């Protein structure tokens, strides 16, 4: 039996190697993409978390503020608290650099206090000047930061504080910083002085005495600080659940969506295995029946067909795992770990082979292949030998595909799944709905093909066109062989619908972002103190100098800060700028109506992400930590903001200044007087003492730059979409090729009754074109439904923002034409091969 099984398996592979190779490659590509994305994100996330942990050193408990900075007066209280062995104050600064889009993270610390807790953060002075760790101009850079900035020891690094330059001397390096970690360290007092943060800290690391329970200490300290300073401090442990959750939440939706997109190729591979095995079983139906007559049992035949499908899955999974590891290693080496999205910048992860993940993806590849061949295997085992030995019984083998109720059940379940809420903020039911839609629609293809082509056949015959042999034979065959037509349609449907859905989703997102930029960029010129970092700002005197410039019709300023509203989530962006409370839609992309603001209330407008993540609703009151205490705001509306996935809150600049006393701003929005050009005004601004420290952009430049960032972030999506389209093209070609080659006997009979080779080729071309056209039409409808789920369910549940629907007709039409051409040409080429043997040899099995 083992010898027979091997003979059947290898014989089938030798007879039709191309079909097997296409199915194996489809599975391999799906597994490789999914496994590579898993390895890339796991390596980047682990390295990012390890780098964050390295900044905490041996601290047991950390105290941080809900605002970026807090008063250092709390430090003596914590340092003298019972159970504390060491307390290390830190000031974390995201230092802006002139004419650079990125920022440098600088840690200001007390070397004497940080040594026992964070020894890796103590700089190693270059040369013999051991007191550089206390110098007011000394900065110690990690090797990665030195390489990135191209600075040697002794060089001067120019940073930006407000609108003036700050020069710091590279006094040495941080030898024990992690590979790829870009940080700088300087004396705490020097950092406070150089960046105007006197008396302010970012966090305090606590090392507890031996025997002190960390959890109990943390809980007691949190209760005490909340009682004495409500809404001001967060108490946590390094690498605790909240910090892990916060790091994970930054990129989880992006990782999951990329993985699902990668598995689209695997789904196509599963259908290719199904079509390959289904057509193989149909072609060998007589052979299997003969084996049954000779004594082969049903179970043995069932296992044989499953073995053939599993062999495709094993080969594809092994190739995919090897290719996925190689792809992950190459991507991490050349592009870094953030895949263009910017979540894990500043680290240099390396691919680590994950045995458990490899086993999971291997089982997934084999399972998909077994699932694809389960139906054909069952049909081969249950077929009656006597009936199967008769020629022309192939269509009866596909009769089970004509059942309607399983397809309708899948479609109904898909409709119900679209109403389900997200699971752990992931649209799992949305993905389930897409899978059920695909399965249900593919299952309906035989019935659809039968209905459409029978109607077309009746219309053709009613029009007295029966004398035209080629279209008559074509429509008759399609109308009466709906099972095989359904297999071909399923290949077109699965590939084209997924391509349409992804194209519509990405295009809708891109167009929505572009329209959003048009609405939020109404001015003539925009000026910014720095693209990255938080130390650059315009002080009141500099703001007044800008207002006094000739040629400026009006100017508005904006202040941007970050607030921590929950310990397990990334910070929320707080934007303070002037907004017309009576008509906020003039400057905001509002979602829903704007509420009138009560006379005694301070208005706030929350982004969709903030409303979704923190359950803010219009008309409710929210508390924001400002100036060390919770401040109440009235939610006057929800607005669309594509710049912050973790949420943004907009308040009036006057309210912000009154509550915080912070008069600095980050951005300036400028409208020009008639007759003044943007270039002329830029020249006047650059003549100011601080003018060279500003960056300028026109609305068109900002839109162009933003769309480049969008395309870079979605570069991986574009690549995955292109791969899915290519696999779909190969899948359609393989399906039509297999069907054409399996009909050699049919073509031989037609040749016997007088049909010419040219007419048969014309029949095949019409069949391929007709089936593909129907598949494209159905696939477009199904793809549109899937895109609605992606746009209105998956995307809002994943990224917490909405978008408008947009159909990229040019792209859809181009891929449709490519599919139509591929199917027609494949049918013709395969037909020429199937007709090359002569009519007598083709029907010899019927003698």
The residues that bridge with 183 in the sheet, in sequence order, are 105
Same domain for 547 and 615, yes or no, is: yes
Same domain for 755 and 671, yes or no, is: no
Give this prediction's pTM: 0.82
Residues of the chain with pLDDT > 70: what percent? 85
Residue with tokens 């891929």: 815
Q: Mean per-residue pLDDT for 323-347?
A: 71
User: Range with the lowest mean pLDDT among 556-570, 629-643, 726-740?
Assistant: 726-740
Contacts of 84 (CB under 8 A, 6+ apart): 78, 206, 207, 208, 209
Of 238, 272, 288, at which residue does a domain stop? 238
In terms of Cα–Cα distance, which of 160, 122, 157, 151 is closest to 137?
157
Same domain for 40 and 178, yes or no, is: no
- Asked if residue 435 belongs to a domain, the reply is no
- The per-residue pLDDT for range 169-206, each reduced to its tens digit, is 999 999 888 877 889 999 999 999 999 999 999 999 99
- Report for 214-228, 286-300, 729-743: range of highest mean pLDDT: 214-228
Which residue range(s) make up the domain with 80?
A: 58-238
Contacts of 282 (CB under 8 A, 6+ apart): 394, 397, 398, 484, 742
- Asked if residue 405 belongs to a domain, the reply is no
Same domain for 342 and 366, yes or no, is: yes
CA distances from 704 to 330, 488, 678, 708 (A): 29, 43, 17, 6
Strands, E assignment, 419-540: 525-528
- Asked if residue 652 belongs to a domain, the reply is yes
- The per-residue pLDDT for range 26-44, each reduced to its tens digit, is 788 878 888 888 888 778 7
Same domain for 544 and 693, yes or no, is: yes
DSSP letter for each residue of 790-845: IIIIIHHHHHS--------HHHHHHHHHHHHHHHHHHHHHHHHHHTTT-HHHHTGG
Same domain for 137 and 122, yes or no, is: yes
State CA 531 to chain mean position distance: 24
pLDDT band at 846 (very low <50, low <70, confident <90, very high): very low
Q: Mean per-residue pLDDT for 752-756?
A: 78
Q: Mean per-residue pLDDT for 471-500?
A: 76
- The per-residue pLDDT for range 133-162, each reduced to its tens digit, is 889 999 999 998 999 899 999 999 999 998
How wide is the angle at C-alpha 66 spanned by C-alphas 212 and 88, nearest 5°? 45
pLDDT band at 825 (very low <50, low <70, confident <90, very high): confident
Rounded to an integer, what distance in angstroms lies between the CA atom of residue 779 and that of residue 783?
Answer: 6
Same domain for 661 and 533, yes or no, is: yes
Are the C-beta atoms of residues 635 and 615 closer than 8 Å to each other?
Answer: no
pLDDT at 845: 47
What DSSP state is assigned to residue 576? E
pLDDT at 847: 40
- Asked if residue 418 belongs to a domain, the reply is no
Same domain for 273 and 388, yes or no, is: yes
Phi-psi group of 339: left, alpha or beta (phi > 0 → left; psi -120 to 50 → alpha; rest → beta): left
pLDDT at 69: 92
- Asked if residue 8 belongs to a domain, the reply is no
- Asked if residue 454 belongs to a domain, the reply is yes
How wide is the angle at C-alpha 715 spanned by C-alphas 711 and 716, nearest 5°? 150
Of 658, 681, 697, at which residue does a domain stop? 697
Question: Which tokens is 73 given?
Answer: 């007066």
Are the C-beta atoms of residues 192 and 91 closer than 8 Å to each other?
Answer: yes
Q: Mean per-residue pLDDT for 802-811?
A: 90
Q: Is the pLDDT of residue 394 over 70?
A: no
- Asked if residue 437 belongs to a domain, the reply is no
pLDDT at 209: 93
pLDDT at 839: 55
User: Range with the lowest mean pLDDT among 466-470, 536-540, 790-794?
Assistant: 466-470
- Asked if residue 193 belongs to a domain, the reply is yes
Q: Mean per-residue pLDDT for 697-718?
A: 80
pLDDT at 637: 94
Please give the residue that has the higher pLDDT: either 277 or 226.
226
Q: Mean per-residue pLDDT for 416-443?
A: 88
Q: Is the pLDDT of residue 823 over 80?
A: no
What is the number of domains present in the chain? 4
- The per-residue pLDDT for range 622-650, each reduced to its tens digit, is 999 998 889 999 999 999 998 888 899 99
Same domain for 296 and 336, yes or no, is: yes
């Amino acid at each position: 039996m083992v010898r027979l099984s091997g003979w059947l398996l290898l014989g089938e592979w030798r007879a039709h190697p191309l079909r097997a190779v296409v199915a194996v490659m489809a599975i391999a590509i799906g597994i490789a993409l999914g496994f590579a994305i898993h390895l890339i994100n796991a390596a980047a996330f682990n390295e990012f978390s390890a780098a964050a942990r390295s900044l905490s050193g041996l601290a047991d408990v950390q105290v941080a503020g809900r605002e970026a900075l807090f008063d250092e007066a709390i430090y003596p209280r914590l340092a003298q608290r019972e159970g504390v062995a060491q307390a290390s104050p830190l000031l974390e600064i995201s230092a802006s650099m002139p004419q650079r889009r990125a920022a440098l993270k600088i840690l200001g610390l007390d070397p004497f206090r940080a040594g026992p807790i964070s020894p890796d953060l103590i700089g190693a002075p270059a040369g013999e000047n051991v007191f550089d760790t206390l110098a007011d101009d000394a900065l110690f850079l990690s090797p990665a930061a030195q390489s990135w900035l191209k600075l040697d020891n002794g060089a001067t690094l120019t940073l930006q504080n407000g609108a003036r330059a700050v020069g710091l001397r590279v006094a040495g390096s941080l030898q024990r910083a992690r590979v790829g970690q870009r940080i700088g360290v300087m004396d705490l007092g020097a950092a406070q002085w150089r960046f105007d943060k006197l008396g302010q800290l970012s966090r305090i690391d606590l090392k507890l005495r031996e025997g002190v329970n960390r959890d109990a200490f943390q809980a007691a300290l949190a209760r005490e600080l909340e009682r004495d300073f409500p809404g001001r401090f967060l108490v946590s442990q390094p690498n605790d659940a909240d910090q892990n959750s916060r790091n994970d939440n930054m990129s989880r939706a992006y990782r999951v969506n990329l993985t699902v997109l990668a598995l689209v190729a695997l789904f196509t591979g599963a259908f290719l295995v199904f079509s390959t095995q289904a057509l193989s079983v149909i072609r060998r139906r007589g052979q299997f029946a003969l084996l049954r007559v000779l004594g082969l049992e049903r179970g043995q035949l069932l296992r044989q067909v499953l073995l053939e499908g599993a062999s495709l899955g094993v080969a594809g999974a092994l190739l995919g795992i090897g290719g996925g590891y190689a792809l992950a290693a190459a991507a991490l080496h050349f592009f870094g770990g953030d895949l263009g999205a910017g979540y894990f910048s500043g680290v240099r992860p390396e691919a680590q082979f994950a045995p458990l993940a490899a086993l999971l993806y291997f089982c997934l590849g084999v399972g998909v292949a077994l699932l694809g061949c389960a139906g054909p295997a069952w049909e081969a085992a249950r077929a009656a030998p006597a009936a199967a030995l008769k020629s022309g019984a192939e269509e009866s083998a596909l009769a089970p595909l004509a059942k309607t109720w399983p397809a309708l059940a899948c479609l109904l379940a898909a409709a119900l799944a679209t109403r389900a809420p997200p699971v752990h903020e992931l649209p799992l039911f949305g993905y389930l709905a897409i899978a059920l839609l695909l399965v249900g629609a593919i299952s309906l293809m035989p019935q659809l093909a039968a209905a459409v082509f029978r109607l077309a056949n009746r219309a053709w015959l009613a029009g007295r066109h029966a004398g035209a042999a080629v279209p008559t034979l074509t429509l008759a065959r399609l109308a009466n062989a709906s099972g095989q037509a359904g297999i071909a349609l399923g290949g077109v449907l699965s590939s084209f619908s997924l391509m349409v859905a992804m194209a519509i989703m990405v295009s809708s997102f891109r167009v929505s972002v572009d329209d959003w930029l048009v609405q939020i960029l109404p001015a003539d010129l925009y000026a910014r103190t720095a693209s990255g970092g938080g130390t650059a700002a315009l002080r009141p005197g500099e703001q007044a100098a800008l207002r006094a410039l000739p040629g400026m019709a009006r100017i508005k300023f904006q202040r941007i800060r970050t607030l921590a509203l929950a310990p397990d989530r990334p910070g929320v962006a707080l934007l303070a700028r002037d907004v017309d409370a009576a008509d906020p839609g003039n400057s905001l992309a509002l979602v829903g109506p704007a509420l009138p603001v009560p006379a005694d209330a301070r208005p706030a407008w929350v982004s969709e992400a903030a409303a979704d993540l923190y359950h803010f609703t219009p008309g409710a009151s929210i508390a924001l930590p400002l100036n060390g205490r919770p401040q109440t705001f009235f939610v006057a509306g929800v607005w669309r903001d594509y710049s912050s996935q973790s949420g943004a809150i907009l308040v009036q600049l006057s309210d912000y200044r009154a509550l915080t006393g912070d008069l600095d701003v980050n951005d300036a929005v400028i409208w020009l007087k008639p007759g003044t050009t943007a270039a002329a005004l830029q020249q006047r601004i650059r003549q100011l003492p601080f003018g060279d420290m500003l960056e300028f952009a026109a609305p068109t430049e900002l839109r162009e730059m933003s769309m480049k960032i969008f395309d870079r972030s979605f570069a991986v999506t574009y690549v995955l979409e292109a791969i899915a389209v290519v696999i779909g093209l190969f899948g359609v070609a393989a399906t039509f090729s297999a069907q054409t080659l399996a009909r050699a006997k049919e073509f031989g009979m037609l040749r016997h009754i007088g049909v010419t080779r040219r007419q048969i080729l014309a029949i095949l071309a019409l069949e391929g074109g007709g089936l593909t056209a129907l598949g494209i039409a159905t696939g477009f409808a199904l793809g549109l439904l899937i895109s609605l789920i992606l746009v209105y369910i998956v995307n809002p549940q994943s990224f917490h923002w909405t978008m408008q629907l947009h159909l990229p007709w040019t792209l859809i039409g181009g891929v449709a034409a490519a599919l139509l051409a591929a199917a027609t040409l494949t049918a013709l080429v395969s037909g020429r091969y199937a007709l090359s043997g002569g009519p007598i040899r083709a029907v010899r099995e019927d003698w």
